[in-house]
Amino acid sequence: MQEQTIDGTIARTFVYTGVALVLSLVVTQGWLMGFIPPPSPALPAEELAKIFIDRKMSIRIGTLIQCICYTFWFTWAISIAFYIRRMERGIPVLTYASIANIGGGYVFFLLMPITWAALAFRPENLDPNVLQVMNDLVWFIFILSWPPFALFMVFIAVAIFRDHNVPTIFPRWVAFFNLWTAVLIIPAGLIEFFKTGPFAYDGLISFWFVFAVFFGWMLVMSIVTLRAIAVDARAAARP
């Protein structure tokens, strides 16, 4: 049976949606909302409430953009899942697991802006302590949700190691890169134990380092996936 090929235009569009997701996060959380870096978990509740009251319109605009652009996690990750399918023989267990995992990650991405939008809807009416706890929840969703994403990286690595194509669709270094990335985001799990320092959710390691590693991973995987699509396009163009 002839192997199916990917529609290059759709595939490239899907990959670029991941780049758009990363850029939208920088613009919305960094510029519009002022949440890069995050407000310190040690910040008094009243001061945090004032931030939400003062920035409520920019937070609303930022979360609206995020609700749209964070949807791109699904389209971006599916472009990789397609190649995982191409790497597998027989029943595509890794492909099924990856698609289920991608759907779960999509929920985490949307919960963040939805919760912030609710907090910015009428922040002046909220008890500052309630607002503080809900803001903590958003950052916990953002950072503490690392396991399914790490698992997706492991799925990618295993698929590459087991790839039956010659040459392999992705170079083997991409498998090792995914495994190391999965390990390097583990410190995100420590945010629930610290309110200050490098492991707090505004800290050097649990935020800045993990943030750079994860979104750097997305950019690297975008580049190698675009290269795979280009290889497919050249193969399809041969007589």
pLDDT at 235: 79
C-alpha distances (whole Å) from 124 to each of 51, 52, 61, 121, 138 are 11, 8, 18, 9, 19
Is the link from the previous residue into 239 a cis peptide, with omega within 30 of 0?
no
pLDDT digits (tens, 9 = 90+) for 77-107: 999 999 999 999 889 999 999 999 999 998 9
Q: What's the token pair of residue 107? A: 């929920």
237 pLDDT higher than 80: no
> DSSP per residue over 10-76, as a string?
HHHHHHHHHHHHHHHHIIIIIIIS--SSPPPTTS-HHHHHHHHHHTHHHHHHHHHHHHHHTTHHHHH
Question: Which of 11, 158, 145 has its CA nearest to residue 80?
Answer: 11
- Band of the pLDDT at 1, cuts 50, 70, 90? very low
Res. 2: pLDDT tops 60: no
User: Does 236 score more than 80 pLDDT?
Assistant: no
- What mean pLDDT is reported for the chain? 94
170 touches 163 (CB < 8 A):
yes
pLDDT confidence tier of residue 4, bands split at 50, 70 and 90: low
* 5 compared with 115, residue with greater pLDDT: 115
**Nearest alpha-carbon partner for 196 in 76, 14, 38:** 38
Tens-digit pLDDT profile for residues 189-208:
999 999 999 999 999 999 99
pLDDT bucket at 108, cuts 50 / 70 / 90: very high
Q: What's the CA gap between 169 and 147, in Å, rounded? A: 26
Q: Per the confidence metrics, is the pTM higher than 0.75?
A: yes
Q: What is the mean pLDDT of residues 175-190?
A: 97
Do 106 and 71 contact (CB within 8 A), yes or no? yes
Percent of the chain with pLDDT over 70: 97
pLDDT at residue 3 greater than cutoff 60 = no
